[in-house]
Copies of this chain bind each other. A is one copy, B any other.
Amino acid sequence: MGEGKRKILALAGGVGGAKLALGLTGVLPADELTVAVNTADDFEHLGFSISPDLDTVMYTLAGVANPETGWGRQGESWTVMEALGHLGGETWFRLGDKDLATHIERTRRLRAGETLSAVTGDLARRMGVKPAMVPMSDDPVRTMVTTDQGELAFQDWFVRLQCRPTVQSVRFAGVETAKPSPALLDMAGLRGVIVCPSNPFVSVAPILALSGVRAGLTSAGVPRIAVTPIVGGQAIKGPAAKMLAELGHDVSALGVARYYRGLIDGFMLDKEDAALATDIEALGMRVRVADTMMRNDEDKRRLAADALAFVDALC
């Protein structure tokens, strides 16, 4: 890579994105990584401004994420939720006690007029997160899912209805006017872009749908790769496979690669899906086969190192 081209921009949603971002912190100096995080599944609930993906990334990078659930903090307690249930309050979206502090403080500061970027940066620093973490936008963008039960706000579909309603289409309310984070358009010193193994439709698509982001990334002249979120026709976590099927895509890494055609020039495929390499290369992108499963921190670092090597090989 050229001298001065040191910065990796990672696009991330929740769990999968957070895991690879953590891997990247193990193989990159903190000042060479910027994680831009989806905020289209943010929502307002019980009076709080909740940013599920930002929190998953923040907790993961801070080493306090709950590894079992994929959301929330480890060693969490549920005293507030239990008491709220006794009072007849809404408890379908589980907010742990420690996690609630994040929502209280974020909400207070947003109401006081701070930007989501400023609040996110400060909360992350206080939690000990070293690399830059930015929301995709300071403006509200909200994923709306059109289903066989009508249009639903994302968390209604995802958490309250547990992804059961069949998805017909997805839109990102507010994305036309939302300004992308400056980090998404700042190509100075960029070494490459890594699309993390997050849900293409609801985690990565909103980032790309922000005005100028897709064009900015594709015209930057730096390698852009995606790490597959689908292995063996299954999503590693979350509803990506279900959405692929319901939205008429191939439920496979090939389906994801097709979806990212025009955006990326490299696709990291799991070794289990190595047979798809030829078809994906036929889309006009390079393929690297790797073990993409991130079971532990060593896996995360190894995959991150693999992804970096792939980026540099595409220079």
Cβ < 8 Å to B, chain A residues 198-243 = none
Cβ contacts under 8 Å, A97 to chain B: 77, 79-80, 83, 97
Asked if residues A100 and B100 are in contact (CB atoms below 8 Å), the reply is yes
Main secondary structure of the interface of A (DSSP, over half): helix
Chain A, 84-115, contact with B by CB distance < 8 Å: what is the 0/1 string?
10111110000001111110110110010000
A46 within 8 A of B: yes
Cβ contacts under 8 Å, A100 to chain B: 80, 83, 100
A279 within 8 A of B: no
Please measure, in the bound complex, the distance between the C-alpha atom of A102 and the C-alpha atom of B85, giving whole angstroms: 10
Please measure, in the bound complex, the distance between the C-alpha atom of A102 and the C-alpha atom of B89, giving whole angstroms: 9
Query: How far apart are A220's CB and chain B's nearest CB, in angstroms?
Result: 35
A4 within 8 A of B: no
Asked if residues B47 and A87 are in contact (CB atoms below 8 Å), the reply is no
Query: How far apart are A102's CB and chain B's nearest CB, in angstroms?
Result: 7
A123 within 8 A of B: yes
A272 within 8 A of B: no
Please measure, in the bound complex, the distance between the C-alpha atom of A88 and the C-alpha atom of B108, giving whole angstroms: 12
Asked if residues A101 and B126 are in contact (CB atoms below 8 Å), the reply is no
Asked if residues B89 and A101 are in contact (CB atoms below 8 Å), the reply is yes
A291 within 8 A of B: no
A122 within 8 A of B: yes
A127 within 8 A of B: yes
